[in-house]
Structure 1
Amino acid sequence: MRDSHPTDHLDRSLRSFLRIAQLGSVSKAAEDLGLSQSSLSKQLSALEQSLGQTLFIRTGRGVSLNDAGELLRQAIEPAYSRIDSAIHAVRQEHGIHSGTVRLATVHTLSYYFMSDVAAAFMSTHPGVNLSLLGRSSPEVVALVESGKADVGFVYDSAVDCGGLISHSLFDDHMCRISARHEAVPSTDLRHQDLRLIGFPPHYALRRMIHSSGLHPEFVAEVETIDAMLRLVASGLGDCILPSRIPDTLLHEHQLHKYPIELPSLQRRVVAILRADRDPQALTSRLLECALRIAQSV
């Protein structure tokens, strides 16, 4: 095992000295640095012996710098601040080109928004691993809150936590999808007997339908859009999905898309991050990419 270089010990001692000076307490500094108080006290004593000067004055509430300690602080604190800033900048720059960013998104966006975002992001960050987590709106919020996802794309109706920051992306308008061809489709659903295939009750789209005043009969519940479209194609019932669902996908199932005017069915899609931490460089770049793509949606 390689022996520690004397400058390693000096660097640790000087950084420990600065933390004691900043907190005004050996015990608080030890806790902050993850050291025992006795270990930190030994470091300080060794530093003072090497300088031939005491650096602190004991007070009733802790310690304060004496003249020698203040002189040392003024000399090294700016230098360490510049060193730490440089190290942070290098790490951030490296983090833009490698690593993993975890994105949780509601299922529907993977069909018409996420593909554009992923393609644009990966074209400029080819060495990055983009981990996509398709979930329901409440699950997306939970993943971001817990730190298991770095950023989430979700309907704003699901975000009611003060611990999150939201960035508006775009508004999603709903449409009715059916296996039947209707020459003159009704755009007013308020008085129709609707038989729908839908998401489970905790999904934002399902809650939106109920809150709009509609009372359809849900003949089946599924958790994926592919399963939903297959059931609609079988003639079991219609479904309500965002109008941006690609026509090519519907044509594969021989389905038809009809606009909805009444009731108004729309939701805002937002990007969410935790409010108590600064996003990593990769997360910020992904968010910037999503906001740029959203402007053209």
Structure 2
Amino acid sequence: MHDFRSIDNLDRSLRCFLRIAQLGSVSKAADDLGQSQSSLSKQLNTLEQSLGQVLFTRTGRGVSLNDAGELLRQAIEPAYSRIDGAIHAMRQDHGINSGTVRLATVHTLSYYFMSDVAAAFMSSHPAVNLSLLGRSSPEVVALVANGKADVGFVYDSAVDCGGLVSHTLFDDQMCRISAKQEPFPNADLNHQALRLIGFPPHYALRRMIHSSGLHPEFVAEVETIDAMLRLVASGLGDCILPSRIPDSLLHEHNLHKYPIEQPSLHRRVVAILRADRDPQILTSRLLECALRTAQSL
């Protein structure tokens, strides 16, 4: 029967030996391994006693391998390198089934895109924690740029940071949502007196409305879709949202959706990541789910 404690101790001693050999110093290896120098020296002495060989020559600057030590290093270093490489590959590509992915997204996408992406991702990664951060467009960009989110879903008009890379997801067309049922709705908003419930000025959708040449009266500002729809349902004003907002959600508030032909109100939704670092495997898989979901829209 194997004495697994002895095997574990031998493995630890051999790895410590390799680190000392790589750094040429017991004290440096101890710092690197988070051990005391005396503890590491004791492990080295135990290994040398078990082998019946001295492995290092002590020098003024540290230690260097002698012939026996060099023979041992050549024998075990490739094996440990292969073992560590295999474990790393399994964790990075095949064996990851836990962890956290931080996704920042603009609020509107949570109503018609994010649920499908999350469902597809979590079905194949049930033990992964998907942390969703609903924010405005500038905030999503800042979270990804600062490394506080792994990936962001945002409108391309908001991405003005050179340190990010973007992947196109889909294009969105806007619509007008009203509490009034209009048999013959006017799809040209250019010459209409619009009373709107809108997002605050720093939101991309609000900026898009202004840049289109429209000059509506914003009678209220809110930061959530739910609050916006409740105010529209009260008759306070209309709102402009993506046409992919589910009809079932509008029916809950007895609201009606009308197309917009003029001016052209559309946006491109993109996924953004930091350009200066390779994404973790879970982040890459989440992005793959998002791209597949976007293709099915």
> Given the alignment of the two structures, is residue 10 of structure 1 paired with residue 22 of structure 2, yes or no?
no
TM score, norm. by length of structure 2:
0.78
The residue type equivalent to 1:272 in the other structure is: L
Give ranges in structure 2 of 5+ residues lacking alignment: none
Q: Distance in 2 between matches of 1:90 and 1:55?
A: 35
Q: Distance in 1 between matches of 2:35 and 2:16?
A: 10
What residue in structure 1 maps to residue 267 of structure 2? 266
Contact 2:55-2:67 at 8 Å conserved across structures = no
The residue type equivalent to 1:257 in the other structure is: Y
The residue type equivalent to 1:231 in the other structure is: L
Contact 1:243-1:259 at 8 Å conserved across structures = no
Aligned-residue sequence identity (percent) comes to 75
Given the superposition, is the C-alpha separation of residues 164 and 43 from structure 1 closer, same or farther in structure 2, using an over 3 Å criterion? Answer: farther
What residue in structure 1 maps to residue 229 of structure 2? 229
Report the number of matched residues: 291
What residue in structure 2 maps to residue 167 of structure 1? 167
Three-state SS of the structure 2 residue aligned to 1:202 is coil
1:143-165 CA distances to partner (integer Å, 9 max, x unpaired)? 55566544332233444556655
Q: Distance in 1 between matches of 2:56 and 2:221?
A: 71
Contact 1:20-1:26 at 8 Å conserved across structures = yes
Give ranges in structure 1 of 5+ residues lacking alignment: none
Q: Distance in 1 between matches of 2:13 and 2:266?
A: 63
1:25-44 CA distances to partner (integer Å, 9 max, x unpaired)? 54544343223445444444
What residue in structure 2 maps to residue 119 of structure 1? 119
The residue type equivalent to 1:226 in the other structure is: D
1:143-191 CA distances to partner (integer Å, 9 max, x unpaired)? 55566544332233444556655333222233332334272524353x5
Three-state SS of the structure 2 residue aligned to 1:95 is coil
What residue in structure 2 maps to residue 30 of structure 1? 30
TM score, norm. by length of structure 1:
0.78
CA RMSD of aligned residues (A): 3.5
Q: Distance in 2 between matches of 1:56 and 1:277?
A: 42
Q: Distance in 2 between matches of 1:71 and 1:10?
A: 17
The residue type equivalent to 1:183 in the other structure is: F
1:245-291 CA distances to partner (integer Å, 9 max, x unpaired)? 1233334332222224425541332143685464144x433322111
- 1:228 Cα deviation from its structure 2 partner: 0.7
1:216-255 CA distances to partner (integer Å, 9 max, x unpaired)? 3322111211211121222222222222212333343322
Contact 2:153-2:269 at 8 Å conserved across structures = no
Three-state SS of the structure 2 residue aligned to 1:183 is coil
The residue type equivalent to 2:151 in the other structure is: V
Q: How does 1:69-88 map to 2 (within 5 A)?
A: 69-88=69-88
Contact 2:56-2:63 at 8 Å conserved across structures = no
What residue in structure 1 maps to residue 156 of structure 2? 156
What residue in structure 2 maps to residue 279 of structure 1? 280
What residue in structure 1 maps to residue 188 of structure 2? 187
